[in-house]
Structure 1
C-alpha cells in the first residue's frame, strides 16, 4: 500500500492528502507554491515555500493540532506515512 502523502496549495488553502483523505487548511493568500520538502517528522513538516514578492522561505507545518481539531486520531492517521511529496499534478 502507498505510504506517501502529498501536499499542495490551491488559493488560500493547503491540501494535505493521504490515501482517501484530503485535509484542507487555510494558508496565506500570498503563497504561490510549495517548492521543496525539507523534512517530514511524524506530523511535522518543514517545507520551502514561495510567496508573492518574497524569496523562497522555510515554513513549518504541524499537522497534529489540525488533525485533532478535525477529530482524527492523529497517531493512527500519521503512523503509515513514511514520505511526503509536493503534488501540483491534480
Structure 2
C-alpha cells in the first residue's frame, strides 16, 4: 500500500529564511539613517574659511574673497581654541 503524506506549508512570515534575507537590507537602511543623522547634527554648520561661499547645498569659490573677513579662530600655544 502507498500512503499519501501531505505536507502543510507554513505562511511565509513563519519561515526563518525570508527574515534572514531581509535582515541585511534592513540593517543597511538603519545604518544609513544613523549616518545621515550624525552628519547633519555634527557637521552641518561648519564655517567655510577657504574663500568659499555656500549657496544652498553648493559651495563655490568666491571671486571677491577678502582675507580679513572670515578667518579661522586663533589657537593658543597649547592647541586650545579660544
- TM bin, normalised by shorter chain, reads under 0.3
Structure with greater proportional helix content: 2
State TM-score, norm by structure 2. 0.22
| Normalised TM-score (structure 1) | 0.21
> Hey, which of these two has a bigger chunk of strand by percent?
1
Q: More relative contact order in 1 or in 2 (CA 8 Å, sep 6+)?
A: 1
